[in-house]
Amino acid sequence: MKNFTDDIGITGHLTIIKQFPNGEEEVVFDDHNIIVSGMGVGLSYMFNGSGSTSVLDYQIDRFQIGVSGPPAGGVTSAIQGLSGALNSVSEYGTGSNLFIEDASQIKGDNIVANQFFALIPANKITRIDDASVRYTLVVDEEACNGLTRDSNDMNINEIGLLMKNPTGNTGTNRSILVAYRTFSNIRKTNDFSLIFRWTLNF
């Protein structure tokens, strides 16, 4: 599906900002992202009429944060999931404003259950022009703080956007990764919020 995605010319750009309680902002990342093969898979379900009959299921309406950085073998359009996606509501932060959904994820030929996704509110999805959409992902002061696994401190260093449920599965959504980016380690604390401004150009 990589060639299909390339042919339709989808690109993206991600800016990551630290926002402090006094309103100060610090840009910590500003670069392109990787459009992964899942974008082509999801759109092919729609174009071929073989997936969901609801346009809502093709919305990019959720994201994942991860702590393991680039996948083994490096970052390519063939990756199907984050290396170290947060795996519980508590890791995302029970006191945060994020709404977390426990659902399934399509990873190649496999359906992986009990994956955790942060949903993007409709008012944080903005059409810039006829071909561009901006997703503003807010990881507030109470989210993703002091992450540890096996008593080791874990830093945020990867993020992915996902399409909701392109196969139209009933009951539990089956999401698919469509865009991905790694970045330098960020140790999240309640001293700041993280704002991910992610623009996709279709």
State the pLDDT at residue 34: 92
Distance between CA atoms of residues 174 and 115, nearest Å? 10
State the pLDDT at residue 7: 62
pTM of the model: 0.94
State the pLDDT at residue 103: 98
Name which of 201, 85, 101 is nearest 147 in CA terms. Answer: 85
DSSP states of 106-170 as a string? EETTEEEEEEEEEEPPGGGEEEEETTEEEEEEEE-TTSSTT-EETTEE--EEEEEEEES-TT--S
State the pLDDT at residue 2: 44
Element (H, E) at 13: strand 11-19
pLDDT per residue rounded down to tens, the chain (202 residues): 444 555 668 999 999 999 999 999 999 999 999 999 999 999 999 999 999 999 999 999 999 999 998 777 778 899 999 999 999 999 999 999 999 999 999 999 999 999 999 999 999 999 999 999 999 999 999 999 999 999 999 999 999 999 999 999 999 999 999 999 999 999 999 999 999 999 999 9
